[in-house]
């Protein structure tokens, strides 16, 4: 409820006056803010008295957001996350405006999945720089944003929140390590250089990369949150009606894990912070699935069975998440998300080099 969320914000930021906006003078940067989860979070932060820097490629949606809130506490920045130069420009604009006073939170929410009719190597799957679109939008553009804004996120209570997914259990990390001068397999746009299930694994690969990034951040709190299935357009407009019927509502349970990641205390988040082994979730379905040690084993993964098992688990999650909803849950992530620091460091160092031009 709005009152409960306001109480969380008061507790986190030490607001003592009952009538004072709990996030007054706080600045929150949210990507993908023109629709779905990002728009819902923007409205919450604004209602709590905070200032929102809303980033999105949808200029019409940003205009609608600005008009609906009608406030100087909403700064809109049209940003193409498929273009690193566009992300860098927006980051520079933020630093120019808020660099002196600082930023309190960055919410990395923008993301996409490939439609069923996507063709490997097609123009719709390429970033502005000619690399894989999903890997660029979901992961690398946010890596760049964090690197540029991190100096303004070093004050007490500052935090980076990554909207990731339980779907990261689908992959073992082998396709996101930079095993050549051209970078990770998941980053390739040439079908000849991609993995055999590039499209099917693209979303999971980017979400595991996000988790590795979160666990590599130093000097600022960082936490990952999984919203589970939410009624948004991330799967395309064709899937929106289906998701709105079966998934969590975007203005309700669908943003619970994100708000918990944003507003819960460091003590409450515990193992979900930085170099931990967990993330913030909102359903216990994953905990009920048996034999996780078996279906994440190297043998099962190499056989290709892990993909189908996690896809089936995703369907169970969609159908059962409403019955296993938890208001606040810190849940263990996949073994590969925390048990190979060498791979994680390799991705981090490669990412630093890749974004260096911007």
Span 50-74, pLDDT tens digits = 999 999 999 999 999 999 998 899 9
Question: How many whole angstroms separate alpha carbon 184 and alpha carbon 162?
Answer: 21
Question: In this predicted model, what pLDDT tens digit does every residue of 12-24 receive, in sequence order?
Answer: 998 777 778 999 9
Report the Cα 135 to chain-centroid distance in Å: 12
Q: Is the pLDDT of residue 244 over 90?
A: no
Cα separations in angstroms, 315 against 45, 286, 339: 32, 11, 27
Q: Is the pLDDT of residue 10 over 90?
A: yes
Number of residues in the chain: 358
Question: How many whole angstroms separate alpha carbon 314 and alpha carbon 113?
Answer: 15
The closest alpha carbon to 103, from 49, 155, 42, 36, belongs to 155
Question: In this predicted model, what pLDDT tens digit does every residue of 87-118 receive, in sequence order?
Answer: 999 999 999 999 888 999 999 999 999 987 88
* DSSP letter, residue 336: G
Question: What integer pLDDT is reported at residue 269 of this predicted model?
Answer: 98
Question: How many whole angstroms separate alpha carbon 235 and alpha carbon 242?
Answer: 10
Question: What integer pLDDT is reported at residue 2 of this predicted model?
Answer: 84
Question: What integer pLDDT is reported at residue 237 of this predicted model?
Answer: 65
Cite the DSSP H helix spans in 116-197: 133-134, 141-149
Partners of residue 51 on adjacent β-strands = 27
The closest alpha carbon to 137, from 74, 202, 181, belongs to 202
Percent of the chain with pLDDT over 90: 79
Q: Are 50 and 26 in contact (CB under 8 A)?
A: yes
**What would the mean pLDDT of 326-335 be, rounded to a whole number?**
96
Residue 80 CB: number of other CB atoms within 10 A? 18
Question: How many whole angstroms separate alpha carbon 261 and alpha carbon 264?
Answer: 6
Residue 3 CB: number of other CB atoms within 10 A? 7
Residue 147 CB: number of other CB atoms within 10 A? 17
Least confident of 38-47, 83-92, 172-181, 329-338: 172-181
Least confident of 150-154, 207-211, 352-356: 150-154
Question: What integer pLDDT is reported at residue 154 of this predicted model?
Answer: 76
Q: Is the pLDDT of residue 279 over 80?
A: yes
Could you give the 3-state DSSP secondary structure of residue 160? strand
Cα separations in angstroms, 243 against 42, 234, 318, 327: 21, 10, 9, 20
Q: Look over the chain and give the mean of its residue pLDDT values, rounded to a whole number.
A: 93
**What would the mean pLDDT of 140-161 be, rounded to a whole number?**
94
Residue 282: in which H helix or E strand, if any?
A: strand 278-283
**What would the mean pLDDT of 254-266 be, rounded to a whole number?**
97
Question: What integer pLDDT is reported at residue 238 of this predicted model?
Answer: 65
Question: What integer pLDDT is reported at residue 235 of this predicted model?
Answer: 64
Question: How many whole angstroms separate alpha carbon 165 and alpha carbon 278?
Answer: 12
Question: How many whole angstroms separate alpha carbon 133 and alpha carbon 112?
Answer: 9
**What would the mean pLDDT of 222-233 be, rounded to a whole number?**
90
Question: What integer pLDDT is reported at residue 34 of this predicted model?
Answer: 96
Partners of residue 281 on adjacent β-strands = 329
Task: Give this prediction's pTM.
Answer: 0.96
Question: What integer pLDDT is reported at residue 236 of this predicted model?
Answer: 64
Question: What integer pLDDT is reported at residue 67 of this predicted model?
Answer: 94
**What would the mean pLDDT of 145-172 be, rounded to a whole number?**
94
């Amino acid at each position: 409820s709005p009152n409960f969320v306001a109480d969380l914000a008061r507790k986190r930021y030490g607001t003592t006056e009952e009538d004072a906006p709990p996030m007054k003078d706080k600045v929150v940067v949210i990507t993908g803010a023109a629709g779905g989860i990002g728009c819902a979070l923007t409205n919450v932060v604004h209602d709590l008295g905070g200032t929102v820097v809303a980033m999105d490629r949808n200029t019409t949606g940003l205009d609608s957001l600005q008009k609906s809130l009608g406030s100087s506490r909403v700064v809109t920045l049209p940003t193409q996350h498929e273009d690193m130069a566009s992300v860098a420009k927006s980051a520079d604009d933020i630093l120019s405006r808020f660099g002196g006073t600082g930023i309190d939170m960055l919410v990395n929410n923008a993301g996409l999945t490939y439609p069923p009719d996507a063709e490997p190597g097609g123009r719709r799957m390429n970033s502005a720089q000619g690399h894989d679109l999903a890997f660029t939008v979901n992961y690398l553009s946010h890596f760049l944003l964090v690197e540029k804004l991190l100096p303004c996120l070093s004050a007490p209570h500052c935090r980076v929140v990554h909207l990731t997914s339980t779907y990261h259990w689908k992959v073992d990390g082998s396709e996101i390590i930079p095993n050549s001068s051209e970078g990770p397999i998941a980053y390739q746009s040439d079908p000849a250089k991609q993995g055999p299930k590039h499209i099917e694994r693209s979303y999971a690969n980017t979400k595991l990369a996000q988790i590795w990034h979160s666990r590599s951040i130093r000097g600022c709190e960082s936490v990952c949150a999984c919203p589970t299935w939410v009624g948004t357009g991330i799967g395309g407009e064709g899937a929106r009606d289906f998701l709105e019927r079966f998934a969590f509502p975007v203005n309700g349970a669908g943003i619970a894990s994100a708000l918990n990641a944003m507003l819960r205390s460091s003590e409450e988040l515990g193992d979900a912070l930085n170099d931990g082994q967990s993330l913030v979730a909102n359903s216990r379905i994953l905990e009920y699935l048996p034999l996780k040690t078996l279906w994440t084993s190297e043998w099962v993964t190499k056989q290709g069975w892990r993909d189908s098992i996690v896809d089936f688990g995703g369907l169970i999650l969609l159908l059962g998440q409403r019955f296993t909803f938890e208001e606040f849950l810190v849940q263990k992530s996949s073994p590969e998300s925390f048990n190979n620091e060498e791979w994680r460091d390799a991705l981090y160092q490669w990412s630093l080099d890749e974004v260096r031009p911007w």
